[in-house]
Amino acid sequence: MLHYSFDSSLVEITEQKNEDDVTFTIQIKSETMRQRWKQVRFYFDDNKDYTDAFFYSHIDGHYEVIVRNDAVLPFLLQAFRYRCIESLAWK
Amino acid sequence: MSHQALFAIALFLLTYAFIISEKLHRTIVAMAGGILMVLLGILSQEDAIRHIDFNTLGLLIGMMILVSITAQTGVFKYVAIRAAKAAKGKPITILVYLSVVTAMASALLDNVTTVLLIVPVTFSIARQLRVNPVPYLISEVIASNVGGTATLIGDPPNIMIGSSVEGLDFMAFLANLTPIIVIIQAAILVCLVFIYRRQLQTTPELQAVLMQLNEKDEITDPVLLKKSLAVILLTIIGFVLHGVLHLDSATVALSGAFLLLLFTGEHYLEEAISKVEWTTIFFFVGLFVLVAGLEETGVIAKMAQAAMDLTGGDPLHTSLLILWLSAIASAFIDNIPFVATMIPMIHDMGSLGIDNLEPLWWSLSLGACLGGNGTIIGASANVIVAGLAAKEGHHITFLGFMKIAFPLMILSILLSHVYVYLRYFIL
């Protein structure tokens, strides 16, 4: 199983498993963290796969990201790369 | 017929066959055919270069640069989400709004560029509402081909026609094609809503979530957006006035592109130039030289004479023949080489006795652009969207597309038929 942790003073992440994908709800608590998530978003918006991760920015400031099952690992790797999460490990 | 003319025909047909077979990239085939025209002595290099329409190429390059920079601002995603929210998240209304957005964008941008901009956000909206994206993709691809027909700069056939015919400027296309295109798009949307009304259903909860999206967050660079929109507005004004100012359309498009690069700085230069679809540009170059071979050897003049014999030189019958022939041909083969061949043929019809060629040009434009909707291989935008959909696990089959799109294409050509008849021969 893939496990990750995050600094809850900067961000709050919850996830819900669907049939074909996982919905991450991301509450962002600092501008620095918002910029980091924008970099993750840019990575997925800019690649040639149009359905790997859908980013939805909501009026209240939270992000909803729907990630296809086979793209969850790349998504978390990018989140780790841009320091949106603190750790990522197989357990 | 001379040996050179026979060589030119054989080379042209061979090249055409290779383009249709898609065994090799169409640009390689067209360029190889063009080069062989010169190597075999059918054309001199000077003649070949003289026949390359640099106005068409300049217009395409200018618009590609403008769009590639503007696309980086996120404005197209902003507009699509605004449209979805304006539709209150109702899937079938979203289909109508996204189709209208696509048609309008396509009237000003290249069709392929338009669908490449709209498809990713369509997948995103469809996933949010948990509906099948395929009805949206089919509607958008049809709208891109219909909308592109409305203006001089919307579709390559129009760019080629506008570039080769004196007096057919931006405003002439707007006055002659936009009214019928609005009617055709409306008629097609009515049919699409009827076809997909039961398939596109979602829940009130998912609609409510969509209404909470913040489209403003899609704008990634507000400063660049302001510069891009200002230059696009100036460019459109330039297109509207280019006939009055005696400027070619390529001058307007390239002025807009490099004015924007002047504002944005060299940071954007490399990427903007690299995003020009050079394969498309060289495809045009090859085709212009190939068709020049047929022109210089008198083949086009003979074809024009044969068409005149068939219709008795009657302008109405000739217009309608061009309309239907272009539509059926464009449903199965690339409309760009077809139009490249038809343009000199129609010019020759002028010298063979048809006084007013205007209805023939509009028939060619309507037939070639709208005909592309007939099959999945009829236009580049169709092929691109089918490829993207398949990659994302949503297969649009040849017959599946044809079942929806071919009758709609026939409807659009019937409406065009009535329009050409009434506007140019009755009223």
Is A62 touching B (CB cutoff 8 A)? no
Q: In this prediction, what percent of chain B has a pLDDT beyond 70?
A: 100
pLDDT tens per residue, range B228-248: 999 999 999 998 898 888 898
Interface confidence (ipTM) of the complex: 0.84
Predicted confidence band at B112 (pLDDT cuts at 50, 70, 90)? confident
pLDDT at B266 exceeding the cut of 90: no
pLDDT tens per residue, range B22-79: 788 888 999 999 999 999 999 999 999 999 989 889 988 998 899 889 888 989 889 9
Question: Do the strands A2-5 and A21-28 form a parallel or antiparallel pair, or are they unpaired?
Answer: unpaired
Contact B217 A50 (CB under 8 A): no
Distance from CA of A83 to the nearest CA of B (A): 21
A51 in a domain, yes or no?
yes
Contact A51 B127 (CB under 8 A): yes
A52 in a domain, yes or no?
yes
Residue B425: predicted pLDDT: 93
Residue B274: predicted pLDDT: 87
Contact A57 B212 (CB under 8 A): no
HSE, side-chain direction, 13 A CA sphere, residue B382:
29
A67 in a domain, yes or no?
yes
Residue A20 — φ and ψ, nearest 5°? -110, -5
Q: Which of A50, A54, A63, A67 best tests the B interface by mutation, with the highest count of B CBs <10 A?
A: A50
Average model confidence (pLDDT) across chain B: 92
Distance from CA of A64 to the nearest CA of B (A): 10
A90 in a domain, yes or no?
no
Question: Mean per-residue pLDDT for B301-329?
Answer: 91
Q: Which of B5-14, B86-95, B334-343 has the lowest mean pLDDT?
A: B334-343
A71 in a domain, yes or no?
yes
Contact A59 B212 (CB under 8 A): yes
Residue B26: predicted pLDDT: 84
Question: Do the strands A53-57 and A63-68 form a parallel or antiparallel pair, or are they unpaired?
Answer: antiparallel
Q: Are B140 and B106 in contact (CB under 8 A)?
A: no
Q: What is the CATH number of the domain that holds A61?
A: 3.30.1360
pLDDT at B334 exceeding the cut of 80: no
Q: Are B59 and B159 in contact (CB under 8 A)?
A: yes
Number of domains in chain A: 1
Residue B265: predicted pLDDT: 85
Both structure tokens of B98: 């996204």
* B71 or B191: which leads in pLDDT: B191
Distance from CA of A90 to the nearest CA of B (A): 28
Domain that holds residue A48: 9-84
A1 in a domain, yes or no?
no
Predicted confidence band at B132 (pLDDT cuts at 50, 70, 90)? very high
Question: Mean per-residue pLDDT for B354-383?
Answer: 92
Residue B136: predicted pLDDT: 96
Q: How big is chain B, counted in residues?
A: 427
Q: Are B97 and B86 in contact (CB under 8 A)?
A: yes
Both structure tokens of B206: 């998912």
